[in-house]
Amino acid sequence: MASHDPQTRQLIGRIGAEVSWANTTDRVARTAPARAGLYQKFLDEAGGDPVRAEHLYKAHFLKLAHKSRQARRKAKELTTEAEEAEAELAGGDAA
């Protein structure tokens, strides 16, 4: 295989992933080992207690949702700041 720059390798990898998923007839079965492994992580952390593991599992996804919300809020703030700066540079700020 020829040497490629990182962006080209990333694009080739993404193409391969899309083709692979296009050829996957049972998506649930394909991802089952990963889901089982993640749940096992929480079960181990909970000392084998499935009730505690379920709470840890839910807390994990709530933390992810919180981080996602923070990132979306920050992106919105930065977009607003950039739009205001562009308007000011373009002379749109008539105040």
Asked whether residue 42 is domain-assigned, the answer is yes
pLDDT at 95 over 70: no
Question: pLDDT tens digits, residue range 9-28?
Answer: 999 999 999 999 999 999 99
Structural domain count, the chain? 1
C-alpha to C-alpha distance for 85 and 42, rounded to whole angstroms: 46
Domain with 66, as residue range(s), is 33-95
pLDDT value at position 91? 86
Asked whether residue 82 is domain-assigned, the answer is yes
Asked whether residue 24 is domain-assigned, the answer is no
Locate 26 and state its tokens. Answer: 């049972």
pLDDT at 47 over 90: yes
Please provide residue 23's backbone torsions phi and psi, each rounded to the nearest 5 degrees. Answer: -90, 5
- Cβ atoms < 10 Å from Cβ of 43: 18
HSE-up of residue 51 (Cα within 13 Å, Cβ side): 0
Residues listed for the chain: 95
**H-assigned helices in 1-95:** 6-22, 27-45, 50-89
Greater confidence, 2 or 86? 86
pLDDT at 94 over 70: no
**What DSSP state is assigned to residue 25?**
S
Asked whether residue 93 is domain-assigned, the answer is yes
Question: pLDDT tens digits, residue range 52-93?
Answer: 999 999 999 999 999 999 999 999 999 999 999 999 999 855
